[in-house]
Amino acid sequence: MLTVYAEAFERDADPEDFSLAAMIAHERGHQILARHPRLAKHVAGVSEASEEILSLVGAMICRDDTDRVALFAKAVAALLDRGQSAEAANRQLQELWDLLEALL
């Protein structure tokens, strides 16, 4: 069973930016990172504010390509907001994607 609190949906400024499935996948990312036996030990020191990781996990579990692209873009935007270049953000997220695939 998946429980998602209403506050999770209030965080995004525009509820039309992401589909319900994408929002739930992002929130499911919180649970996967906290509970997955192999992932939890690797991300134990990672701040919950690391939205790019949560969005990336959400993108990995989304079935819809549009949602997957939207969540990947959200991950890129989180890194751009921290001052990374688009190229560096894409490279870092691809490396993280590969790591998460190996662990999952």
For the record, the structure tokens of 85 come out as 């270049």
Q: Greater confidence, 29 or 8?
A: 29
Three-state DSSP at 61 gives helix
Per-residue pLDDT of 66-90, as tens digits, reads 989 988 888 898 889 889 899 999 9
pLDDT digits (tens, 9 = 90+) for 13-54: 566 677 778 877 777 777 777 777 776 666 665 555 476 777
C-alpha pair distances (Å), 84 with each of 16, 51, 59: 26, 14, 20
Q: Looking at beta carbons, which pairs linking 32-35 to residues 24 or more positions away fall under 8 Å?
A: 32/57, 32/61, 33/57
**Buried/exposed 76-91: b ≥16 CB within 10 Å, e otherwise:** bebbeeeebeeeebee
User: Residue 38 is part of which domain span?
Assistant: 17-103
Nearest Cα to 35, choosing from 25, 47, 43, 26? 43
Say which residues have a Cβ less than 8 Å from residue 44's Cβ, sequence separation at least 6.
none
Does the residue 48 lie in any domain? yes
Residue 10 resides in a domain: no
- Work out how many domains the chain is built from and give that number: 1
Q: Is residue 3 one of the residues assigned to a domain?
A: no
